[in-house]
Structure 1
């Protein structure tokens, strides 16, 4: 017996609209609008995910910790702020790892493509380590979990794999901005949030398609 597929309805367009508002605010330097719109992103994405396929505790946990990572660090300053962000997003990566682990045999973990992820992690670490100072250990721990999440995401669905890679790029840009003195692009927050929101959306879209395929719907 086939299950009836759910629909995200207006929630996916609402998420997309919130992303556009946030990115425009980043480019315009409208800090208050950027902050407020960022608070809405992960709740809207989580609501769209639940509407589409129902409750997946691990994915929702990852989105929940991502939302905390988007909001809670603003309560702190300097190194404490950075550590709060790293700690909360580390929890999000662990939740994603647990969600993707059942599909590890189909992932890049067992393929030559793994070398590309290892190389990317190595280059990022080499670029950031000299400036990380006392934060080097938490940065390395987070980086390992982030890279593992991105690798395991490739086993779920192609969209999830792309999303995991974009999430890796987003956090890599944050690390470069924090620790590499030579890194000074225009509007750095825009590029971080563009890759972050696209990465999260593609991860969720891939999980939705994989879940529907497993339940017998057309992906």
Structure 2
């Protein structure tokens, strides 16, 4: 499924992610976290610029915007304990990133694909998750609801691609979307419901996989 160049990058990417997970796990290494976390998205951006030149201009620009706003979101969320403004701004950055991904996925939607049952499943999941979050979101109620709806739409449009793109492209993007939902769910529960054990590791691990899979999947859609 992966080319030699993709496997090499995946190894480099894994080393960067592991370095980030180590840095957030030990207080003595916290300073390095401000370098390793942004490096995750920066490495993906560099990979995309180098190996995705074959994509059409619109897809390239939308993907670069998605990755860039994801990078902004990562940086902003590093300071979310200082002020709720950083948290809200981080949500907005990721909201824009998800919208960019939605626009990319819709370019290759399969109009004959039945998305009803999957959409219902996601709505049930989101409703259940929101039940646990609602008492803790406070003034961020509206932004959180909007964000949840947008990320659900991102996953639905990723599912919508089946049959209109190569199978490996569909699988990678779809799995990436599911990992994104998992990461954001863990982040939301940890922030608004109750602190989760090893949350820094689980959130960043699933998030990193999500971004890597989506970029690989977009690369393979032609």
Please indicate, yes or no, whether the TM-score normalized by the shorter chain is above 0.5. yes
Q: Work out the CA distance in 1 between the residues paired with 2:26 and 2:79.
A: 23
> Alpha carbons of 1:24 and 1:164: their partners in 2 closer, same or farther (altered >3 Å)?
same
1:88 aligns with 2:87: no
Aligned match of 1:65 in 55, 65, 69?
A: 69
User: Given the superposition, is the C-alpha separation of residues 46 and 6 from structure 1 closer, same or farther in structure 2, using an over 3 Å criterion?
Assistant: farther
Q: Which residue of 2 aligns with 1:167?
A: 180
5+ residue gaps, structure 2, are 162-169
Match of 1:191 in 2: 202
Q: TM-score, normalised by structure 2?
A: 0.83
Structure 1 unpaired stretches of 5+: 212-219
TM-score by length of 1: 0.84
2:160 alignment partner, one of 155, 168, 187: 155
Q: Contact 1:6–1:51 at 8 Å: present in 2 too?
A: no
Q: Write the deviation string for residues 13-58 of structure 1: whole angstroms up to 9, x where unpaired.
A: 3322211111222233432222210011111112112322226111
**1:179 correspondence with 2:192:** yes
1:28 corresponding residue in structure 2: 26
Q: In the superposition, relative to structure 1, how do residues 113 and 60 fare at CA in structure 2: closer, same or farther (>3 Å)?
A: same
Q: Is the 8 A contact 2:115 2:159 kept in 1?
A: no
Q: What is residue 117 of structure 2 aligned with on the other side?
A: 112
Describe the shift of the 1:9–1:133 C-alpha distance in structure 2 as closer, same or farther (beyond 3 A): closer
Aligned-pair RMSD on alpha carbons?
2.3
Residue 155 of structure 1 deviates from its aligned partner by 3.3
Q: Distance in 2 between matches of 1:53 and 1:6?
A: 15
Q: 1:16 to 1:160 in 2, by over 3 A?
A: same
- Residue 173 of structure 1 aligns to a residue in which SS? helix
Number of residue pairs the alignment of both structures matches: 205
